Amino acid sequence: MTDDAVDSLLSAWEESPFPSTKLSTYFKVYADLFSGLRGTACTFIETGVLAGGSLFMWRRWLGDKARIIGIDLNPEAKKWEQSGFEIYIGDQGDPSFWEKTFKRCGSFDVLLDDGGHQSFQQIITLSAALQHATSQCRVVVEDTHTSFMSDFNSHKEYSFLRYAKDCSDFLTLRGSSMYPTRMRGIGNTRVEALLSKVWSIRFYGSIVAFDVADDKCAIPVSLYNKKSPKIPVDFRHKGVSKGSCIWPDPFSENQVNIHGA
């Protein structure tokens, strides 16, 4: 990411001929995630495009080679096809819509979810995109602060952010086979399969990005740089046996003691 990439993206947004609303912090995140696609024949899908402004922003910033696809529930969004965009009308909360749409779209480089922002919509969209990802790509969900908003709280404890954070555990547990007597193996094989090609999950302010890269998702093994390593006495349990911290609960200060082995 360069300052030029951010500045040019901001200019593309400001000079879009149609309205678009963005958080001020998003432009640096977009530049960090999508700069590598500029000038390429990429396929960029965005949900939530009714006003049209973001479509023109992406085309100007990514370049004329980019294939830009818009998804919206409102049939009025079809008018943007006259401006050279591909538009699909449907409900992002309906898995059958995504089944049909991904078959028509084919492979993609980015899916950016700026749609309804309800947790179930974000989760279904992410799941469908991961199921249909056939090559290296990125699935990005924005406006994740709705997981905390009072008018989006019908999900109760099952928010999108909780879903994303729990998904990150699967990436770590890929190494559980190295420690069969010390770590539990993954028991949720359906989600394990869904995330099998996810290499990283990145959390930004109000944005979560899932990176799909099948060739980077190897099961880890322990390596030694010497054939017969001389390991010094392990002092990891010789120090203090617990630590104290304020737990990162955003809504209360809870001082906890964390015990060691």
Q: Which amino acid is at 151?
A: D
| Residues 2-16: tens digit of each pLDDT | 789 999 999 999 999
Query: What pLDDT is attached to residue 215?
Result: 93
Predicted TM-score (pTM) of the model is 0.95
Mean pLDDT, rounded, for 103-117: 97
Query: What pLDDT is attached to residue 92?
Result: 98
Q: Which helix (H) or strand (E) holds 207?
A: strand 207-212
Query: What pLDDT is attached to residue 39?
Result: 98
Judged against a pLDDT cut of 70, whether residue 1 lies above it is answered with: no
Per-domain residue ranges of the chain:
3-216
Residue 210 contacts residue 197 (beta carbons within 8 Å):
no
Residue 177 burial (CB count, 10 A): 13
Mean pLDDT, rounded, for 158-175: 97
Mean pLDDT, rounded, for 243-261: 94
Query: Whole-angstrom Cα distance, residue 190 to residue 135?
Result: 20
Judged against a pLDDT cut of 80, whether residue 229 lies above it is answered with: no
Q: Which amino acid is at 216?
A: K
For tokens 């954070």, name the residue.
165
Q: Which comes out higher in pLDDT, residue 222 or 109?
A: 109
Chain-wide mean pLDDT for the chain?
95
| Residues 24-74: tens digit of each pLDDT | 999 999 999 999 999 999 999 999 998 999 999 999 999 999 999 999 999
Q: Which amino acid is at 181?
A: T
As a CATH number, domain 3-216 is 3.40.50.150
Percent of the chain at pLDDT > 90 equals 90
Judged against a pLDDT cut of 70, whether residue 89 lies above it is answered with: yes
Judged against a pLDDT cut of 80, whether residue 91 lies above it is answered with: yes
Q: How confident is the model at residue 230 (pLDDT cuts 50, 70, 90)?
A: confident
Virtual CA dihedral for 97, 102, 105, 110, nearest 10 degrees?
110
CA 231 to chain centre: 40
Query: Whole-angstrom Cα distance, residue 250 to residue 141?
Result: 21
Distances (CA, A) of 236 to 17, 240, 245, 261: 61, 10, 20, 10
| Residues 183-225: tens digit of each pLDDT | 999 999 999 999 999 999 999 999 999 999 999 999 999 888 8
Residue 168 contacts residue 201 (beta carbons within 8 Å):
yes
Query: What pLDDT is attached to residue 57?
Result: 98
Quote the tokens at residue 79.
Answer: 């008018």
Residue 72 contacts residue 103 (beta carbons within 8 Å):
no
